[in-house]
A and B are shown apart, each in its own frame.
Chain A
Amino acid sequence: MDLSSQRQAVDGQVEVAFKVNGTAERLRVDPRTTLLDALRERLQLTGTKKGCDRGQCGACTVHVDGRRVLSCLTLVAMVEGREVTTIEGLAEDDQLHPVQRAFIECDGFQCGFCTPGQIMSAVAVLREGHATTDAQIREAMSGNICRCGAYPAIVEAVKQARS
Chain B
Amino acid sequence: MRSVDREDGPVKVTGAATYAADHHPDGLAYGYLLTSTVARGTILAMDTAQAEKAPGVIAIYTPFHPLELRPYAKEENGELTPPIQNTDVRYYGQAIGLVVAETFEQARDAAALVSTRCDAERPRASFTDGLPSAVGTSVVDVLADGVSSIDEALDAGDVTVTATYTTPAETHVAMEPHATVAFWTGDQVTVHTATQGVRLVVDRLSETLAMDPARFRVINPYVGGGFGNKWDMWPHTPLTVAAARALGRPVKTVLTREQVFTVVGHRPLTAQTVSLSAARDGTLVAVKNDGVSSKSASNGFHEQPANLSLALYGSANLHVSRKAVTLDVPATTIMRAPGESNGSFALESALDELAGELGMDPVDLRRKNDTPVHPATGLPWSSKHLAECYTVGAERFGWSRRSPRPGTVTDGDWLVGLGMATATYGAGRGQASINVRLRDDGRAVVSGTAADLGTGQSTVFAVLAADRLGIPVGRVVPELGDSATPPAANAGGSGSTSTNGPAVQLAADAAKEALVKLATEHEKSPFHGQEVTFSAGEVRSGGDGMPFGELLTSLGVAAVEATATSPRNPVRDHAFRSFGAHFCEVRVNRWTGEPRVTRWSCVVDAGTIVNATTARSQIVGGVVMGIGQALLEDLRIEPETGRFGNATMADYLVPINADIPPIDVEFLNYPDTLLSDLGARGIGELGNVGAAAAVANAVHNATGKRIRDLPITLDKLL
Contact = CB atoms under 8 A, between A and B. Distances in A.
Interface of A: 12, 30, 32-33, 37, 40-41, 44-54, 56-57, 59, 86-88, 90-91, 96, 100-101, 103-105, 107, 109-116, 119, 135, 137-139, 141-142, 144-155
B104 A49 contact: no
Nearest to B18: A46
B660 A151 contact: yes
B225 interface: yes
B254 A50 contact: yes
Interface of B: 5-6, 8-19, 21-22, 24, 55, 103-106, 109, 172-177, 222-225, 227, 254, 256-257, 453-456, 613-614, 616-618, 620-625, 648-650, 654-663
B454 A148 contact: yes
B224 A30 contact: no
Contact of A111 (B9, B109, B225, B663): B225
Given A32-B105, A49-B224, A113-B224, A104 B13 contact: yes
11 contacts: A49-B19, A59-B175, A96-B14, A104-B13, A109-B6, A111-B223, A112-B8, A113-B19, A149-B660, A151-B660, A152-B663
Contacts of A109: 6, 12-13, 454
Contact of A57 (B614, B620, B649, B655): B649
Contacts of B222: 111-112
Contact of A96 (B10, B21, B174, B227): B10
Main SS of the interface on chain B? loop
A151 B225 contact: no
A33 B10 CA distance: 30
A107 B6 contact: yes
Contacts, number: 187
A152 B14 contact: no
Main SS of the interface on chain A? loop
Contact of B620 (A112, A114, A147, A149): A149
Contact of A110 (B24, B225, B254, B660): B225
Contacts of A153: 617, 620
B100 to A, nearest CB: 15
Given A46-B22, A114-B175, A138-B657, A150 B13 contact: no
B175 A47 contact: no
Nearest to B624: A149
B9 A142 contact: no
B175, B256, B624: most-surrounded residue (chain A CB, <10 A):
B175
Q: Which 3 interchain pairs have the tightest Cβ spacing? A: A47-B15, A149-B624, A111-B454
Nearest to A105: B5
Contacts of B649: 51-52, 54, 56-57, 145
Contacts of B655: 149, 151
A27 B503 CA distance: 50
A12 B17 CA distance: 35
A145 B656 contact: yes
Given A32-B105, A49-B176, A96-B10, A111 B657 contact: no
A45, A144, A147: most-surrounded residue (chain B CB, <10 A):
A147
A146 B175 contact: yes
Contacts of A88: 14-16
A145 B175 contact: yes
B10 A107 contact: no
Nearest to A117: B175
A135 B596 CA distance: 13
Contacts of B616: 107
Nearest to B627: A149
A147 B654 contact: yes
B396 to A, nearest CB: 16
Contact of A142 (B11, B16, B657): B657
A149 B257 contact: no
Contact of B104 (A41, A86, A146): A41
A144 B657 contact: yes
A84 to B, nearest CB: 13
